[in-house]
Structure 1
Amino acid sequence: MNFKFNAEHTFFTSDTHFNHANIIKFCNRPFKDVEQMNDVMIANWNSVIGKDDTVFHLGDFCLGSAAEWTKILDRLNGKIYLIMGNHDLKNIRQGFISRFEHVAMQMRIEIGKKRIYLCHYPFLCFEGGYKDDVWQLFGHVHTRRSNSGIDAGRLQYLYPTQYDVGVDNNNFTPVSFGQVKRIIDKQVEQSKEK
């Protein structure tokens, strides 16, 4: 199945880990507690996402009970597509599939003529990985622009057409299609200079 979306109203994010207190320490997030982290990320989300915008969340959305998921989902703008991450598999069984526009392990979408693979994990190989015409967006690795973190050594193998849309890499805010395009275009250009 091929999904097509409007470039001006499509956003991406990953690894919010709402309600996950330990992620603050694990990823050195600049929050004093989980309540502050949730509130800041929800405010950031709603500052860029409108009610009718499309958001692709590439996994590790939330931890906690059904009540905790409901509290978070009730506060977020947009139509959310969930690409499940390793932390979502346990929680999604609590009946949250109906809260999302679509739930999948991975997706292939189109925005304009741009083909994009969405998965929680970065791919080693994907259609067009050697060309500039296909992107792969991912999360999971909790990078920052400095490429720090447990997976830093492996990230050197990424194609310039791949990008970590996770909150740790994007100021705890979803990124628009336009932002991703500018970042990937720059990465592609830099790779040609090498």
Structure 2
Amino acid sequence: MRFITADTHFFHENLLGTTDFAIRPFANVTEMNRTIIEHWNDRVIDKDTVYHLGDIALYFTHPAIKSNEAVLGVLNELHGHLVLIKGNHDSRSLFKFLAQNNYLLEGKPKFEFHDVGVLSKYDHRQYYMTHYPMMLGIAPQIINLHGHIHHYTVPAKENINVGVDTPETAYLDYQLPFGTPLSLADIEQMVNGKKIDFDKRL
């Protein structure tokens, strides 16, 4: 199966509590990291693929190798193959380190890397997955899945925020635990829910 997420921001202390970007009611980053890992692994198995649309972590140490090792340690705990799309907080140093420590999982590389975005098809629809929201114009069969804006939404029905802080899971008729990657079925329900919501405004 395929899943999508963004903006996990592992180790990011400044996102704890209630901030301008997120509501993360955790006592510390260890608790936050562990919660995301557990909810991720409750849904994803190693044969699955998870598209992570940027901002994996925010953690800086001197020397940088220590933070890169810590992030790798967290990613190695996550089930599935990770297709990593670079976010504004993802350093080239981290991606290079992950590439150097890549390995085979279920016969495929654990990590795959993209600088800008990935196009994927599902049920007669195309998803353009990027970190930053993209304004695609009128393209009924193309939906931009993105992160970056945390608990905000783009006022366009063609854009769906898939980050862990997204408010657009309100379009689901069920709740997902914090940090759970979204399935394509979840995404479809969010797309349809947002379209209905916008159609009502006309």
Question: Shorter-chain TM-score category?
Answer: 0.7 to 0.9
Aligned to 1:73: 75
Aligned to 2:145: 137
Q: Which runs of 5+ in 1 are unaligned?
A: 1-8
Contact 2:95/2:113 (8 A) holds in 1: no
* 2:34 counterpart (32, 39, 51): 39
For 1:82, what is the secondary structure of its paired residue?
strand
C-alpha distance in structure 2 between counterparts of 1:174 and 1:93, whole Å: 21
CA drift of 1:110 comes to 1.5
User: Structure 1 residue runs of 4+, over 6 Å off?
Assistant: none
C-alpha distance in structure 2 between counterparts of 1:134 and 1:70, whole Å: 33
Aligned to 1:14: 6
Contact 2:68/2:94 (8 A) holds in 1: no
Contact 1:84/1:105 (8 A) holds in 2: yes
1:160 maps to 2:157: yes
Partner AA of 2:141 in structure 1: D
CA drift of 1:104 comes to 2.7
CA drift of 1:48 comes to 1.0
Aligned to 1:6: none
Aligned to 1:50: 45
Contact 2:81/2:111 (8 A) holds in 1: yes
- Per the normalisation by structure 1, the TM-score is 0.81
Aligned to 1:181: 188
Contact 1:134/1:161 (8 A) holds in 2: yes
The share of aligned pairs that are identical, in percent, is 31
- Per the normalisation by structure 2, the TM-score is 0.78
Partner AA of 2:179 in structure 1: F
Aligned to 2:175: none
The CA RMSD over aligned residues, in Å, is 1.8
Aligned to 1:101: 112
C-alpha distance in structure 1 between counterparts of 2:91 and 2:123, whole Å: 31
CA drift of 1:191 comes to 1.8
**Alpha-carbon deviations, 1:41-86, whole Å to 9, x = none?**
0001101111111100000002332210221012000111011101
Q: Which runs of 5+ in 2 are unaligned?
A: 60-66, 103-109, 170-177
**Alpha-carbon deviations, 1:7-48, whole Å to 9, x = none?**
xx1111000011111221443311110000000000011011
CA drift of 1:112 comes to 3.6
C-alpha distance in structure 2 between counterparts of 1:93 and 1:138, whole Å: 19
For 1:74, what is the secondary structure of its paired residue?
helix
Aligned length: 172
C-alpha distance in structure 1 between counterparts of 2:52 and 2:4, whole Å: 6
For 2:132, what is the secondary structure of its paired residue?
coil
